Structure 1
């Protein structure tokens, strides 16, 4: 089932930027990652880099990687 990472901008900033309405895709939580059988990441590259929302999400999983909770 597809999931999306949390938005890093506030609701007010999204309104100011005229962002499109939110989709019905559920937001993933870092605590749920160890329960997954696998991961497939997909995102558009901006200037050769991943989206800042996804980078912030990966950075927030540091405690899982240190404890090797994502290792097979």
Structure 2
């Protein structure tokens, strides 16, 4: 699964960004229903991607 992007589609086109994966988008409901989860992502400057950070920030109610 993948987290939702944070940039608008028209900006991604202007940046010549590669197309998104066909993997389904994860929601906070998916996390609430899971028995366990494992996150994996590359880091840049020892930080997780902004998209993932935004997703985790949105799960504060869990």
| TM-score, normalising length: structure 1 | 0.81
Tell me, which stretches of 5 or more residues in structure 1 are unaligned? 65-72
* Residue of structure 1 equivalent to 2:60: 62
1:11-56 CA distance string (max 9 Å, x none): 0111111111121100001122111111111111011100000000
Aligned counterpart, 2:39? 41
Q: CA RMSD in A?
A: 0.8
Distance (Å, rounded) in 2 between the aligned partners of 1:44 and 1:18: 21
Instruction: Please say which structure displays the higher CA radius of gyration.
Output: 1
When the two structures are superposed, what TM-score results if normalisation uses the length of structure 2? 0.93
Aligned residues: 62
